[in-house]
Amino acid sequence: MSKGQKSLEMIVGMIILLVVAGVIINMFMKTMGNAPTGLDPKQQELNKIISNCNQWCGGASSGDLGSKIDYCSHQFSLVGEGEVAERREGIKPYCEDSIYCFLVHDCKLANGQKLTAKRCKQILCQKFKSDYLAGDSNEVAARDYASDKITQLIKKGSCDLGEGVDNWYLWVFRPESTDKGLRISCE
Protein backbone atom coordinates (compact mmCIF):
# COMPACT_ATOMS: atom_id res chain seq x y z
CA MET A 1 0.00 0.00 0.00
CA SER A 2 1.30 3.41 -0.88
CA LYS A 3 1.51 6.39 1.40
CA GLY A 4 -1.20 8.20 -0.57
CA GLN A 5 -3.64 5.33 -0.20
CA LYS A 6 -3.02 5.11 3.56
CA SER A 7 -3.61 8.86 3.91
CA LEU A 8 -6.83 8.62 1.90
CA GLU A 9 -8.09 5.72 4.05
CA MET A 10 -7.25 7.68 7.18
CA ILE A 11 -9.17 10.75 5.94
CA VAL A 12 -12.21 8.63 5.00
CA GLY A 13 -12.04 6.94 8.43
CA MET A 14 -11.95 10.33 10.17
CA ILE A 15 -14.96 11.56 8.18
CA ILE A 16 -16.92 8.41 9.11
CA LEU A 17 -15.91 8.86 12.77
CA LEU A 18 -17.05 12.52 12.74
CA VAL A 19 -20.42 11.59 11.20
CA VAL A 20 -20.98 8.85 13.78
CA ALA A 21 -19.99 11.20 16.60
CA GLY A 22 -22.40 13.86 15.27
CA VAL A 23 -25.26 11.35 15.16
CA ILE A 24 -24.54 10.18 18.72
CA ILE A 25 -24.35 13.76 20.03
CA ASN A 26 -27.60 14.65 18.26
CA MET A 27 -29.38 11.62 19.77
CA PHE A 28 -28.03 12.52 23.21
CA MET A 29 -29.22 16.13 22.93
CA LYS A 30 -32.71 15.07 21.83
CA THR A 31 -32.95 12.63 24.71
CA MET A 32 -31.82 15.22 27.24
CA GLY A 33 -34.20 17.84 25.80
CA ASN A 34 -37.17 15.54 26.39
CA ALA A 35 -36.09 14.45 29.84
CA PRO A 36 -38.88 14.69 32.39
CA THR A 37 -38.50 17.72 34.62
CA GLY A 38 -40.47 16.30 37.51
CA LEU A 39 -43.10 19.03 37.19
CA ASP A 40 -46.68 18.28 36.27
CA PRO A 41 -48.02 19.84 33.05
CA LYS A 42 -49.93 22.55 34.95
CA GLN A 43 -46.81 23.67 36.80
CA GLN A 44 -44.80 23.68 33.57
CA GLU A 45 -47.44 25.85 31.88
CA LEU A 46 -47.63 28.15 34.90
CA ASN A 47 -43.85 28.58 34.73
CA LYS A 48 -44.20 29.64 31.07
CA ILE A 49 -46.89 32.14 32.04
CA ILE A 50 -44.72 33.57 34.81
CA SER A 51 -41.81 33.85 32.35
CA ASN A 52 -43.99 35.95 29.99
CA CYS A 53 -45.15 38.06 32.92
CA ASN A 54 -41.56 38.58 34.01
CA GLN A 55 -40.64 39.89 30.54
CA TRP A 56 -43.56 42.33 30.51
CA CYS A 57 -42.71 43.38 34.06
CA GLY A 58 -39.18 44.25 32.93
CA GLY A 59 -40.58 46.48 30.20
CA ALA A 60 -43.12 47.99 32.58
CA SER A 61 -40.37 48.77 35.08
CA SER A 62 -38.60 50.82 32.44
CA GLY A 63 -41.80 52.80 31.86
CA ASP A 64 -43.07 51.08 28.70
CA LEU A 65 -46.85 51.54 28.65
CA GLY A 66 -47.31 48.71 26.13
CA SER A 67 -45.62 46.27 28.53
CA LYS A 68 -47.87 47.46 31.35
CA ILE A 69 -50.94 46.93 29.17
CA ASP A 70 -49.73 43.43 28.19
CA TYR A 71 -48.94 42.57 31.82
CA CYS A 72 -52.35 43.74 32.98
CA SER A 73 -54.57 42.48 30.18
CA HIS A 74 -53.15 39.29 28.70
CA GLN A 75 -55.28 36.30 29.69
CA PHE A 76 -53.72 32.85 30.03
CA SER A 77 -55.27 29.43 30.58
CA LEU A 78 -53.96 26.26 32.20
CA VAL A 79 -54.77 22.63 31.56
CA GLY A 80 -58.04 21.65 33.28
CA GLU A 81 -60.26 24.63 32.57
CA GLY A 82 -62.78 25.73 35.14
CA GLU A 83 -60.90 24.57 38.21
CA VAL A 84 -59.87 26.83 41.07
CA ALA A 85 -56.10 26.87 41.26
CA GLU A 86 -54.42 25.75 44.44
CA ARG A 87 -53.84 28.57 46.85
CA ARG A 88 -50.25 29.63 47.23
CA GLU A 89 -48.83 32.09 49.69
CA GLY A 90 -49.55 35.68 48.68
CA ILE A 91 -51.63 34.76 45.64
CA LYS A 92 -55.39 34.97 45.52
CA PRO A 93 -57.24 31.94 44.17
CA TYR A 94 -58.02 32.21 40.46
CA CYS A 95 -59.78 30.18 37.81
CA GLU A 96 -57.38 28.15 35.70
CA ASP A 97 -59.12 29.26 32.52
CA SER A 98 -58.59 32.97 33.27
CA ILE A 99 -55.14 33.83 34.60
CA TYR A 100 -53.59 37.30 34.55
CA CYS A 101 -50.03 38.21 35.45
CA PHE A 102 -51.11 40.21 38.49
CA LEU A 103 -52.55 36.99 39.96
CA VAL A 104 -49.41 34.84 39.68
CA HIS A 105 -46.49 37.27 39.45
CA ASP A 106 -45.20 40.04 41.70
CA CYS A 107 -44.07 42.99 39.55
CA LYS A 108 -42.23 45.81 41.28
CA LEU A 109 -41.82 48.92 39.18
CA ALA A 110 -38.78 51.21 39.24
CA ASN A 111 -40.71 53.80 41.29
CA GLY A 112 -41.28 51.23 44.06
CA GLN A 113 -44.96 50.60 43.24
CA LYS A 114 -46.26 47.14 42.50
CA LEU A 115 -48.27 46.31 39.42
CA THR A 116 -51.24 44.88 41.30
CA ALA A 117 -54.74 44.11 40.05
CA LYS A 118 -55.93 47.47 41.41
CA ARG A 119 -53.12 49.37 39.69
CA CYS A 120 -53.79 47.41 36.48
CA LYS A 121 -57.43 48.49 36.55
CA GLN A 122 -56.32 52.12 36.84
CA ILE A 123 -53.81 51.77 34.00
CA LEU A 124 -56.32 50.07 31.68
CA CYS A 125 -59.06 52.59 32.44
CA GLN A 126 -56.70 55.52 31.83
CA LYS A 127 -55.42 53.97 28.60
CA PHE A 128 -58.87 53.37 27.13
CA LYS A 129 -60.18 56.77 28.23
CA SER A 130 -57.24 58.50 26.58
CA ASP A 131 -57.72 56.39 23.43
CA TYR A 132 -61.32 57.60 23.22
CA LEU A 133 -60.54 61.20 24.12
CA ALA A 134 -57.98 61.39 21.32
CA GLY A 135 -60.93 61.64 18.92
CA ASP A 136 -63.68 63.08 21.16
CA SER A 137 -63.73 65.24 24.30
CA ASN A 138 -66.85 63.69 25.87
CA GLU A 139 -65.70 62.48 29.32
CA VAL A 140 -68.82 60.39 29.99
CA ALA A 141 -68.56 58.63 26.64
CA ALA A 142 -64.83 58.05 27.27
CA ARG A 143 -65.58 56.47 30.66
CA ASP A 144 -68.26 54.24 29.09
CA TYR A 145 -65.89 53.27 26.28
CA ALA A 146 -63.14 52.40 28.79
CA SER A 147 -65.61 50.41 30.91
CA ASP A 148 -66.72 48.40 27.88
CA LYS A 149 -63.13 47.70 26.78
CA ILE A 150 -61.96 46.58 30.22
CA THR A 151 -65.07 44.41 30.64
CA GLN A 152 -64.16 42.64 27.39
CA LEU A 153 -60.56 42.11 28.54
CA ILE A 154 -60.80 41.09 32.19
CA LYS A 155 -62.74 37.91 32.92
CA LYS A 156 -63.07 36.05 36.19
CA GLY A 157 -63.17 32.63 34.56
CA SER A 158 -65.66 29.82 34.77
CA CYS A 159 -65.00 28.60 38.31
CA ASP A 160 -66.69 29.79 41.51
CA LEU A 161 -64.38 32.02 43.56
CA GLY A 162 -67.12 32.76 46.08
CA GLU A 163 -68.20 36.13 47.38
CA GLY A 164 -65.48 36.73 50.00
CA VAL A 165 -62.36 38.87 50.00
CA ASP A 166 -60.46 36.18 48.11
CA ASN A 167 -62.50 36.91 44.99
CA TRP A 168 -60.08 39.27 43.24
CA TYR A 169 -62.55 39.96 40.45
CA LEU A 170 -65.33 41.20 42.73
CA TRP A 171 -63.09 43.12 45.14
CA VAL A 172 -60.84 44.88 42.64
CA PHE A 173 -62.82 45.18 39.41
CA ARG A 174 -66.26 45.50 41.07
CA PRO A 175 -68.46 44.51 38.14
CA GLU A 176 -71.95 45.98 38.15
CA SER A 177 -75.06 44.28 36.83
CA THR A 178 -76.49 45.92 33.73
CA ASP A 179 -79.12 44.91 31.23
CA LYS A 180 -76.22 43.53 29.12
CA GLY A 181 -74.70 41.54 31.98
CA LEU A 182 -71.80 42.35 34.26
CA ARG A 183 -69.82 45.50 33.48
CA ILE A 184 -66.62 46.77 35.06
CA SER A 185 -66.84 50.46 35.77
CA CYS A 186 -64.00 52.90 35.14
CA GLU A 187 -64.71 55.70 37.59
8 and 61 part of one domain: no
Q: 130-156 pLDDT, tens per residue?
A: 999 887 788 999 999 999 999 999 998
Judge if 173 and 87 occupy the same domain. yes
Confidence of residue 2 (pLDDT cuts 50, 70, 90): confident
Do 144 and 58 share a structural domain? yes
Sign of the C-alpha dihedral, residues 46, 47, 50, 52? Answer: negative
How many separate domains does the chain show?
2
Under DSSP, is residue 15 helix (H, G, I), strand (E, B) or coil? helix
Question: Same domain for 23 and 57?
Answer: no
**Structural domain containing residue 101:** 41-184
- What is the average pLDDT value for the chain, to the nearest integer? 82
pLDDT at 37: 55
